[in-house]
Structure 1
């Protein structure tokens, strides 16, 4: 028996993360003959002194073990977990966590360079350290984005720090271990700064500048042991950096010749606090909307590090009909390209990003105004080259060379080599895997997985390439269940949900269209159905997958605030417990509206009212989990009242949804809106009929698509659900696979059969929303569904289909690793296998057999599939 994945607040060995509250989790692997947990002991040490001891707790939960700890700033703690099993075996493991500055006052001052505000600067301080090497830490926040260097070496492995968050509510501090970089004697700390999201161009179209501030800022403290060795103040120096310009959308220009100028010409800095940042206090709001009594300007980080996760070499170098040189990396990805340069002084290389070629040539019109280029001007020295303060969404990179006179030229012989694409995202890993007997379905799985990888760079964005890259709440809501199966994302979502609650706190509990909210034009809007409902759907899905009550309680005020917001609005309009007005994206990009435009045909207010019911119901469930009995009852009553109102207005005398669309029926089935089991089944039959009438094709958009196959399966229409999955025509999931996609598209037909982009626009080729089909694949095709949050108890009920041939699935859940699989054999039967982790329980349901409840272990069975 081994203990692995020791985490604090879902982060392994967190350094300087937000640690209020504290929750421990771990996993038992290789249990041998052990089946169940008997007791657990958690201990926390400060310098070998025990500050917390749970004793042997028979009720300990490996998914979430909260501990009341009185923590000190800038302090490392070790913690151990000991597990006793039912067979008498024990296992123990140890890990650590370290606090950041917490609420400790800062000695360092905010500084800004005395340079032209448009410049991307370097700020530096030379200082002396005496004595032997000791544990050393750097506490730092730079705005917009920064990289720090100590004695010429980059500090840490992360990029684009401090990330993208609601800067007007809080500024996140990063903590770095710099022990190995600090030396006795003179040291130099340099911080390179760029515009980033903070003040660079951001938003739709030409976007906006200076959204959060119009200057570059830095605050830092470096400690050698317990001694403060350096801190930002007016004695620091500033200088323009060789990064001539940088932009999230447009890319970066690096002129290496300017490095020579760093020897002289350093200017001063001045002490200045960032204007308005962190100024949106929430203490005067109703308690349920508060995110803290008063949020300080600076706080320890929530954001996971943005790091390099995977690398790709070009699979082909293409020479186009226009005589362009294009590198094909074979995968649409988020990140950048690095290379080794031996260009002569003054020679330039330009890399331009694209997702697709048109007529065999470079194409980036779907990036809209995003230039998405990288320029490197050589100083004649051999070097490794990479961007610093930008990122790209791309599969292809066009390569151009410019000579010393500024004229385009062919590649100088031996001048550039080793192009490598590096994928950047927040630092979490894959947990879910599916492989079927159909290669195109396997490619679809990879496409949806990559859509998540590419759009989870600090914020769950809609797309990573064009002039948008915003944290659209609708996309986040729709994909959240799939996201939790695919990847280990509770800490990632914790940060997003913190920002969401912060934004809610100034708009009456409503939820923005995008988080962080830019507070500009369309994207300052809020309260749209299926978008704003993320405030309840997302934390509930996170709870179901990870079983963390501590995190659920942290998110509960935002869940409740959104339902209260809806209730206040509908009561102000005369009650009746229905949503009666407002702008709603609703079933965005559905194909069933005869009118031109992106809006679906399903009644927006029906969708909004249905979500109102679902959210009220799940706030009640959350209140029950958290022991809030009075609120559990209150919201249960509200949910029932909304449900009855929805049925009266939107359902006919036969108990069927009267919206007349696939989405209307799918929503009714999955939200339980039909008044009886019989009418729910009839709704499923009606849904199947509507699909048949549409030539066997779907017509759903953002709301209906995630629910379509689940609704069919729930009402016994398994074959039709599989028909939709396997459909290779437009509209269908495999259409884009056949068109060579390696990610999921924004539209079902973003690329036309002739290979040209859809002239209607909005053609991101890296939008993960329709990849939400994967949740159904995990739950119904593979058969793995949690019946207890965190997967301590599951139902395994696979829905097989001979066209798939076989399926294998592995999911590393909060309770441990589950494996399921099935295969059609030559004798016409289906062989089935399952693996259940330690201290977990599964109810296996197979056709023609009685349900079987089993504990930890491996199981192999055979059954006769149902006729179709």
Structure 2
């Protein structure tokens, strides 16, 4: 018996995908059943190429060796619109196994010359810098019979949603997403074969402001940053049995007019007047009374790119866990979970009657509390049309647990109001479990904060007037995110924008895409540690978890530019002092309105990060064959460490900032000059934790590394003391206060149940949840021992009050799992290793054991 293949994938795409940008998509496969000791020695890759519905060109390729993750494309490059169907068969000691099920992928429009469509939109004049009524565009066309296949390529300025013959196209939300539009404008591809008919057809596209011209950001935000127009880019290509491609595109023949959406804002919500809606508007023969010729604008097609990550979709629906009648048609709904999404209403009432929905994360005095939304109204308005209807906003999203529905007539029945959870449709890859319900709830909160903030880009929060791609947040959280979900495709796109904007601006922006906002309108000309280090550290982590060397290669100039900028600014001293730093942002000791006033010196934080990023860049350079750079950055890192030790460490191993963050960074980044200093510093960190009763005193810089620092230096007891502490400030403090997501501040809600008075107070930020990575690797004991989990380390470290823990991760090779229990002085551990990988089992008090694929069980005496 040889190995069976359970899954074939392309690049980092979640499923078989239409419209990819890669002409040579790398292939990965996972192996299922295989005999003990199986090793793949070769693979057959069968590739069938052709335009959908037409004859194919099939080739067979023999690949020698064990590679099965991101294997280079073996066939000729795909051309635009071409579909590839791939089967894989692997060879082991017992011969060839069965063929996999076929997997397909389809190229998008790969050349600018493939685009013949232009941008079409309303031609009427509008006042800039305000909420404006968005329009719609439509056209009709005739198709011959014998349709074989049809694809719709869709993009635009603003947000677009298409309908053909009265039916919605696809289920994606917020197309084309948010990128640095002047550099990259994404398009989506849809199979619309089943929506078209021989003869007369119609297509209509809803338009909305989105990020293009809507208000974005804090302190009033900015309007019309990318432009004042709204327009759609539509190219529909239908192929008939005779092989002829019939192209319908957005051009001068389109019409524009208003629809039932009166306003649509990502922050402020959507107003919809059902009296103005005719569902037949996107069907042939609809009356165009009041519509006018659309404005047409040429587009520079070179900015158009296909997605590398999944679109935003509705992932699940939540029903209220409680409904409170407030009287006079006002209802308060609790969905039991803070999340990103919007409501779907099933309502009836007389024409013109208004239903208003407001959203909030928390309650105060029994009512929704909206101060923390700042200037985001987060209010949706439905004007009824006189008939029962089911309605959901199209072009807005909110962050909330609670909703207030006012203007409701009659009783609010089950199913009348449902919350639709929206975020990027990433594949779930990681799970954690343990015997402590509060720790499990903490992990669940991390998961929900990730879900709430991975909405096309990695945002900081989903609710207030911000929702920006802050670099510091994702830098500290990448490792956690990459365990829980397949985030590489999405983050790969975001990192491309980061590099492009870094090149244009001259420094890594605080957030990507970059827009000038309030006091942040002018970027500091100097590099800012923790945030700007994302250019080095996030691609590095993604490579470690996936083995994607192409991603490292593409981001390398960005990473190198950043480290060179730090080196130039630091000068001969190699110390990051004397310029703007955010330091240990949101140290719990910092005043509510001054989150950068941490107890750890900003220069210490920045110089520690300088040393670490230089080291990691040297490792990346070596991987990429940049040997001269590898030597240079290795030397630079050593010199920065020496300068750090001289400036920030005493001979006794004490830091000049005697704080948890200082010692955590020094340990985690290997900055101690010798073992004596390391032990002294480690002991001091443990002492600080004990003196605080496990309470934490770290912000953005120290939080992701403090438990690792304790663990690696022999203070596991103190690490568990921290993660299981419940007093303020601590991770579990928020759990005792009823949190269902990770808070921005350790005390976003005060102990008396009131909200922190700081202007910057969110109940859904993932950064402080970076501790989940430690929970996966140390508490459960599952981590990558080699790139892409080719070797997996199973090294649980029981502690605290836990009697069991476990984790599951869908690695590039397949599912890995660990579960351990403590009972009657015995530690029992079960590990699962996927086919194609090896496991290293390191149990307390025992010698490491290397195992192959399969299920392995261990039992031993355990002495804490």
TM range (shorter): over 0.9
What per-residue deviation string (whole Å, max 9, x for no partner) do you get for residues 129-164 of structure 1? Answer: 012122101112122101000011110110110011
CA change 1:204–1:627 in 2 (3 A) is same
User: What is the aligned length?
Assistant: 835
Q: Where does residue 709 of structure 1 map in the other structure?
A: 707
Q: Where does residue 675 of structure 2 map in the other structure?
A: 677
In the alignment, structure 2 segments of 5+ residues that lack a partner are 127-131, 282-286
Q: Where does residue 150 of structure 2 map in the other structure?
A: 136
CA change 1:24–1:757 in 2 (3 A) is same
Q: Where does residue 60 of structure 1 map in the other structure?
A: 67
CA change 1:244–1:776 in 2 (3 A) is same
Q: Distance in 1 between matches of 2:614 and 2:159?
A: 39
What per-residue deviation string (whole Å, max 9, x for no partner) do you get for residues 96-126 of structure 1? Answer: 1111111142211122311243330110010
* Aligned 1:466-505 pairs, distance under 5 A: 466-505=464-503
SS, match of residue 504 in structure 1: helix
CA change 1:323–1:241 in 2 (3 A) is closer
Preserved CA contact (<8 Å) 1:514 1:523: no
CA change 1:153–1:321 in 2 (3 A) is closer
SS, match of residue 206 in structure 2: strand
Q: Distance in 2 between matches of 1:89 and 1:728?
A: 56
* Aligned 1:322-471 pairs, distance under 5 A: 324-401=330-407, 411-412=409-410, 417-471=415-469
**1:597 maps to which of 581, 594, 598:** 594
Q: Where does residue 548 of structure 2 map in the other structure?
A: 548
Deviation of 1:855 after TM superposition, in Å, equals 1.1
Preserved CA contact (<8 Å) 1:320 1:361: no
**2:207 maps to which of 193, 208, 218:** 193
Q: Distance in 1 between matches of 2:704 and 2:851?
A: 31
Q: Distance in 1 between matches of 2:262 and 2:462?
A: 23
* Aligned 1:155-170 pairs, distance under 5 A: 155-170=169-184
Preserved CA contact (<8 Å) 1:77 1:98: yes
The question of 1:565 aligning with 2:565 is answered yes
CA change 1:731–1:323 in 2 (3 A) is farther
* Aligned 1:397-796 pairs, distance under 5 A: 397-401=403-407, 411-412=409-410, 417-508=415-506, 510-524=507-521, 525=523, 527-571=527-571, 575-593=572-590, 597-599=594-596, 600-796=598-794
Q: Distance in 2 between matches of 1:52 and 1:654?
A: 67
Q: Where does residue 826 of structure 2 map in the other structure?
A: 829
Q: Where does residue 287 of structure 1 map in the other structure?
A: none
Q: Where does residue 7 of structure 1 map in the other structure?
A: 9
Deviation of 1:605 after TM superposition, in Å, equals 1.6
**2:188 maps to which of 169, 174, 182:** 174
Q: Distance in 2 between matches of 1:506 and 1:133?
A: 46
**2:124 maps to which of 96, 115, 132:** 115
SS, match of residue 147 in structure 2: coil
Q: Where does residue 97 of structure 1 map in the other structure?
A: 105
Q: Distance in 1 between matches of 2:601 and 2:357?
A: 46
CA change 1:596–1:212 in 2 (3 A) is closer
What per-residue deviation string (whole Å, max 9, x for no partner) do you get for residues 583-623 of structure 1? Answer: 22121010245897212121112211211111111111112
Q: Where does residue 863 of structure 2 map in the other structure?
A: 866
Deviates more, 1:808-817 or 1:653-662: 653-662
Preserved CA contact (<8 Å) 1:321 1:361: no
Q: Where does residue 81 of structure 1 map in the other structure?
A: 88
Q: TM-score, normalised by structure 2?
A: 0.93
Q: Distance in 2 between matches of 1:34 and 1:239?
A: 67
Preserved CA contact (<8 Å) 1:424 1:457: yes
Q: Distance in 2 between matches of 1:750 and 1:164?
A: 29
CA change 1:313–1:632 in 2 (3 A) is same
Deviation of 1:703 after TM superposition, in Å, equals 0.6
CA change 1:517–1:824 in 2 (3 A) is same
Q: TM-score, normalised by structure 1?
A: 0.93
What per-residue deviation string (whole Å, max 9, x for no partner) do you get for residues 341-385 of structure 1? Answer: 222211121111111111211211111111101111111122221
Q: Where does residue 814 of structure 1 map in the other structure?
A: 812
Q: Where does residue 214 of structure 1 map in the other structure?
A: 228
Q: Distance in 1 between matches of 2:409 and 2:613?
A: 59
Preserved CA contact (<8 Å) 2:267 2:464: yes
Deviation of 1:68 after TM superposition, in Å, equals 7.4
Q: Distance in 1 between matches of 2:333 and 2:372?
A: 19
Q: Where does residue 269 of structure 1 map in the other structure?
A: 294
Q: Where does residue 282 of structure 1 map in the other structure?
A: none
Preserved CA contact (<8 Å) 2:135 2:256: yes
What per-residue deviation string (whole Å, max 9, x for no partner) do you get for residues 316-343 of structure 1? Answer: 1023599941111111111111122222
SS, match of residue 180 in structure 1: helix
CA change 1:733–1:413 in 2 (3 A) is closer
Q: Where does residue 129 of structure 2 map in the other structure?
A: none
Q: Where does residue 31 of structure 2 map in the other structure?
A: 28
**1:306 maps to which of 308, 312, 329:** 312
Deviates more, 1:32-41 or 1:219-228: 32-41
Preserved CA contact (<8 Å) 1:332 1:395: yes
Preserved CA contact (<8 Å) 2:80 2:108: yes
Q: Distance in 1 between matches of 2:147 and 2:347?
A: 36
> Runs in 1 of length 4+ with deviation above 6 angstroms?
none
Q: Where does residue 284 of structure 2 map in the other structure?
A: none
Deviation of 1:53 after TM superposition, in Å, equals 5.0
Q: Where does residue 289 of structure 1 map in the other structure?
A: none
Q: Distance in 1 between matches of 2:110 and 2:536?
A: 29
Deviation of 1:559 after TM superposition, in Å, equals 1.5
Q: Where does residue 406 of structure 1 map in the other structure?
A: none
Q: Distance in 2 between matches of 1:78 and 1:630?
A: 42
**1:70 maps to which of 45, 67, 77:** 77
Preserved CA contact (<8 Å) 2:652 2:680: no
Preserved CA contact (<8 Å) 1:463 1:469: yes
Q: Distance in 2 between matches of 1:349 and 1:321?
A: 14
Deviation of 1:194 after TM superposition, in Å, equals 0.1
SS, match of residue 204 in structure 2: strand
The question of 1:148 aligning with 2:155 is answered no
